[in-house]
Amino acid sequence: MDDKLEVFVGDLLDINPNIDVGLIEKAYKTAEQMHEGQLRKSGEAYLVHPVEVAKILADLGMDERTIVAGLLHDAVEDTPYSIEDVKNDFGAEVALLVGGVTKLGSLVFESREERQAENLRKMFLAMSKDIRVLIIKLADRLHNLRTINYMNEDQILDKCRETLEIYAPLASRLGIYAIKFELEDIALKHLDPTSYYKLVAEVKIKRDERRTSIDKVIAEIEDALKDIHIEYEITGRSKHFYSIYNKMKYQHKQLEEIFDLTAVRIIVDTVKDCYAVLGVVHTLWKPIPGRFKDYIAMPKPNLYQSLHTTVIGETGQPFEIQIRTWDMHRVAEYGIAAHWKYKEGASGNQEEVKLAWLRQTLEWNQDMNDPREFMETLKMDLFSNQVFVFTPKGDVMELPAGSTPLDFAFKIHTDVGVKCVGAKVNGKMVSIDYVLENGEIVDILTSNNSRGPSIDWLQIAKSSNARSKIRQWLKRQDKSQNIDKGKEMLEKAVKRKGYDAHEFIRNAWMSRIAKHMNFASVEDLYMSISYGGVLISKVVGRLQDLYDVEKDKEIKPGDEELIEKANKKKTVSKGPQGDVRVAGVDNLLIHLGKCCSPVPGDEIIGFTTKGRGLTVHRKDCTNIVNLPESERGRLIEVEWNISDKEGTYDAEIYIQSSDRKGLFSDISRRCVDMDVNISGVNLRTNTDDTVTILMTLSIANTSQMEKVLRTLRQIESVTDVYRARTL
């Protein structure tokens, strides 16, 4: 073991003596080999970065596989090492974590914003499967910020803005304040260096004075706690610079006006002890009205719990005291990462609560096709502080700050939101755009005769959950009218480009565009256009691409006759009845499986269906190979019975090829030469200038099939030809 590896493993063992050293060493050596010769902008070996990320993850108490993923997280993006290699070497779990952190490097996007949005969508999807993906990403971002001085100024500013807009709020959502605070302070130092260094200097001037004051407070608390005989630990805490900066900037306060610039933190064993200590503190100093917060009875959305009280000291200077248990302290420092560090005390239900916001984000994400809208809504959802209000029955509802009764109504249920006609707050009627405040009791008034949401509701609602449900409702209303409106808007845009709208907008092209943009149908795409959910310019651009490609693939003179000649060569296709024999069984309804399209000569097997007779499959059909053990009793041996019969059977093949003029003409001519009928064609153009063609051919037997595959593989630009649904 080399010296650097030995030091690295030693550091990890200091944190977790039970760590799997062999697994860590293997990952370290793999990363070392893959990144060999690569340097960071600082000039140091690139391996330093994944090693430091792994150390941050270890400090958070993450498990071995997360640390391994931290070591390998850049290998897939920057080296020939693939996700499949990760899976083979370290297992599917590590591969999922690494894949979730890897950027979408190979795709082309129209803007930096679109790339950022798609990378975040990919990460959120991976997070929904395993939240450790985000923890790795936060560790990666933290080390990159620690070494950000080596980037150029524009890159530094972009990374720091993105950190404050996305990653620090995500760390806050997970309750990982140890990372959140450092991310924010580093970003502030680069985005507003004048304010940052001025603040550092101002805080430093009175540091000794505050230290003396805090030591005196701690001594008084320790003396008072002797009488209640509990175990405790007391420490002083300084507020991080970005938090002070925000209060001074947005609350227009001077440094002396910030009560919690320094604080005393008291950690005890039980919740009962928390309230006992609070009583002692309030007998020592007078609490400031309105400055007491009970986050134990009402935790923050990320499950942060603590008692906060601000009191007036003997000199008249206010200071904050925080009281919490050890379990609460671990959650406050490590957030969701505490689940892995202290597994024996983790609550599955609590983890579900923490990730509820993630599930909601994934839900509204599916309705957004504009990356700008996605980014703005994500930032709004992450940045917003929370307001806590009550139902008439006393249930607590958490909403983004600035929420209205509409947000509250849709939080309860979609039907309540749709039928909302007004609200009562603390027993008084209010309008639906009333801004809710902490502690208010909200009662939603509904009516079955309500006209439902209008477009104005999107301006009134503040939560992503309510806005998403309002959009969904609007999409379902007046569907045909919205479809016609969207189509008309697109046609006008096309005409402005100088194209003939009817020729330019073909349904086949629109279907491909709808699928590419993740719409279920062309109608849904038209509706989205009608209410501004997708940019018309983007659709027109896609249409232009298709128009140009299709013009290049115009059928040449004479090709029509060639295709017609191929169709005239049809032979009578015989059905399966009598062509397949089941030993000892007569008069059995038999049909061939469409999933694998067996032809004479294929090894076949029968599957007894419920009420539809026997379906015949190829033995290598994926549906047969992957058949559950509980269903395999329904398989039955069959054989071909076609010794003297003539006939053909539909069989599907795939053709992969570079896109070029005359490709389909060459394929058709070869099929005519082999006396093979083409009974169906489906062509898909790929983003890498290749095409995938699915063809349905009338085939007599496997010998003819092999000849077809061999012949078509010899066509210019064709890279592969294979039968459908084989392993």
Q: Which of 452, 439, 328 is nearest to 387 (CA)?
A: 439
Catalytic residue among 6, 77, 223, 639: 77
Helix axes 193-205, 207-225, angle to 10 degrees: 60
DSSP string, 544-584: HHHHHHHHHTPPPTTHHHHHHHHHHT--PPPPSTTTEEBTT
Question: SS3 of 651, please?
Answer: strand
Considering just the CA atoms, what is the radius of gyration of the chain in Å? Answer: 33
Q: Which stretch of DSSP H or E encloses residue 681?
A: strand 677-685
In this structure, what DSSP letter does residue 689 have? S
C-alpha dist (Å) from residue 55 to 46, 52, 69: 15, 5, 12
Q: Which of 409, 410, 438 is nearest to 426 (CA)?
A: 438
Segment 208-214 long-range contacts (CB within 8 Å, at least 24 positions apart): 210/261, 210/262, 211/236, 213/262, 213/313, 213/315, 213/317, 213/319, 214/262, 214/264, 214/319
Catalytic residue among 11, 20, 25, 78: 78
Strand-by-strand arrangement of the 590-592 sheet: 590-592, 614-618, 604-608, 635-636
Residue type, 73: H
Residue 559 annotated as catalytic: no
Q: In three state form, how does the secondary structure of 190-247 look? A: HHCHHHHHHHHHHHHHCHHHHHHHHHHHHHHHHHHHCCCCCCEEEEEEECCHHHHHHH
Question: SS3 of 607, please?
Answer: strand
Residue 78 annotated as catalytic: yes
C-alpha dist (Å) from residue 304 to 324, 332, 358: 10, 6, 17
Structure tokens at 212: 């003396």
Q: Which residues are catalytic?
A: 77-78
